[in-house]
Amino acid sequence: MKFAISLSLLLASAAAAAPPDLTGVWGIYRGGPGADPKFAAPPPTPLVLKPEYDKPYQAKRAAEAEAAKRGEQLASTGAQCIPYGVPVMMSVAIYPVEFIQTPKQVTIISEAFSEVRRVYMDRPQAKIDDVAPGYYGRSVGRWDGDTLVVDTVGIKPTVSGYRGMPHSAQMRVTERIRLLSPDILHDQITIDDPVVLEKPVTYTVAYKRMPSDYEMVEFVCDNNREYIDEKGIVRLKLHEH
Amino acid sequence: MNSLQTWRVRASSCALIAAAVFGATLPLLAHHSFTMFDMTKRITLNGAVTSFEWTNPHAYIEIDAPDEKGAMKHWSIELGSPSILMQSGWKFNSIKSGDKVTLIINPLKSGQSGGFLSQATLTDGKVLTNGPRQEPPPAPQK
């Protein structure tokens, strides 16, 4: 009897210590009327750029707004089928993301553009300057209680930024990923860039588990009819017959 | 602030910003904005499909159909991506070449014979929209 109680206590503590399993397909969760407010993503913190970066950023936003008034869209990486990279790929329209969790690696796949991230759980992070700049950089993770903390460095400055913000090679993305319920997942994303930002910016993406029979859809951009004209405007190529 | 307004404030993607401008029922584009299309205007095309391209970043319906003045034209109609379309009941073989279909489109602002699909009525009478709309989702499950 005593042994049984000890064993059950041991099992209970082991269960408490085991990290939650995030494996599954997660759709973007937007809340809405009647939704439980505790599952809604909290509002983002302000995006505050250093003045020398803010001025051109605001000018670019104004130019985009002016073009939109004329019925034109200025060239964007997305329109050219260039992937979004970290962290924008975590929230593209309503495209789901898939988490595949093993003890040594968490793999995250976005349905939009079939983007793949690998989060290594068994090794330390490298120095930023030692990581080849790319779209996904280098991600390492650790468990902080029930929260998966992911550290990412090595994002190329030309990769589209959160809200189109500029960023430097010194950008660091820290994510705190946590289940709020068995079917609701939050990814709290903090972007720190000592070159570009006055202070870090934090926003949260909320996800809801997709039905268990959901199958991720492939996304290979082999029929992009959008092109950029000589004035830098996005145009649609039409077929004549 | 009511919950719908809260939902709109929290919208972050380009599609959702556009939704806040045009109303809450805009379809979704991951890839570019709606600015080239006149989202306030709708044209109905009745015609024969010459091809249905189930591709990324968008699916396309190529169709021969008369314009508003009755002149026969060829039209290139852009849809969402297969991923988005599947979330509102489309399949890769929902339309075949030769099918007679009715399309409601938002035309290109340029006046060229192209546009963005709003709704398709297929040969069997089935009506499909261009992917899920940005309407507030239902309340979460318990």
pLDDT per residue as tens digits for the range A135-191: 999 999 999 999 999 999 999 999 989 999 999 999 999 999 999 999 999 999 999
Instruction: Single out the residue of B124, B133, B121 nearest to residue B25, CA to CA.
Output: B133
Give A6-60 pLDDT, tens digit per residue: 555 555 555 557 899 999 999 999 877 778 888 999 999 999 999 999 999 999 9
Q: Judge if ipTM > 0.85.
A: no
B20, pLDDT greater than 80: no
Give A97-136 pLDDT, tens digit per residue: 999 999 999 999 999 999 999 999 999 999 999 999 999 9
Does any domain span residue A3? no
Which value, to the nearest 10 degrees, does the dihedral of the CA atoms of residues A21, A27, A33, A34 take? -30
Q: Check if the beta carbon of residue B128 is closer than 8 Å to that of residue B89.
A: yes
Taking all residues of chain A, what is their mean pLDDT, rounded to a whole number?
92
> What is the CATH number for A112?
2.40.128.20
Q: Are B132 and A81 a contacting pair at CB < 8 A?
A: no
B93, pLDDT greater than 60: yes
Chain B partners of A78 at a C-beta cutoff of 8 Å?
Answer: 30-32
**What pLDDT shows up at residue B124?**
95
Q: Check if the beta carbon of residue A106 is closer than 8 Å to that of residue A24.
A: no
Lowest mean pLDDT of A108-112, B128-132, B134-138, name the range.
B134-138
Does any domain span residue B94? yes
Q: How many CB pairs under 8 A join A and B?
A: 139
Q: Which domain holds residue B41?
A: 27-129
Chain A partners of B28 at a C-beta cutoff of 8 Å?
Answer: 93-94
Closest CA of chain B from A192, distance in Å = 19
pTM (predicted TM-score): 0.84
Closest CA of chain A from B68, distance in Å = 18
DSSP-based three-state secondary structure for B72: strand
**What pLDDT shows up at residue A103?**
97
β-partners of residue B64 are: B48, B74
Q: What angle do CA A195, A200, A205 make, to 5 degrees?
A: 130
**B77 phi and psi angles, rounded to 5 deg:** -115, 125
Does any domain span residue B11? no
Closest CA of chain B from A102, distance in Å = 27
> What is the CATH number for B43?
2.40.50.140
Does any domain span residue B118? yes
Q: Domains in chain B: how many in total?
A: 1
Does any domain span residue A215? yes
DSSP state letter for B98:
T
Does any domain span residue B109? yes
Does any domain span residue B49? yes
Does any domain span residue A166? yes
By C-alpha distance, the chain A residue nearest B109 is: A71
Closest CA of chain A from B11, distance in Å = 8
Does any domain span residue A219? yes
- A236 vs A118, residue with greater confidence: A118
Does any domain span residue B135? no
- Residue B28 one-letter amino acid: L
Give A55-92 pLDDT, tens digit per residue: 999 999 999 999 988 888 888 888 889 999 999 999 99
By C-alpha distance, the chain A residue nearest B2 is: A33
Taking CA atoms, A47 is separated from A43, A150, A151, A199, B15, in Å, by: 12, 21, 20, 8, 20
Chain A partners of B109 at a C-beta cutoff of 8 Å?
Answer: 71
Does any domain span residue A13? no
Q: Domains in chain A: how many in total?
A: 1
**What is the pLDDT confidence band of residue B1, given thresholds at 50, 70 and 90?**
very low
- Residue A135 one-letter amino acid: Y
Q: Is the dihedral of CA A71, A74, A80, A81 positive or negative?
A: negative
Q: Which domain holds residue A35?
A: 20-236
Please tell me the distance from the alpha carbon of residue B127 to that of residue A141, in angstroms, as a whole number.
46
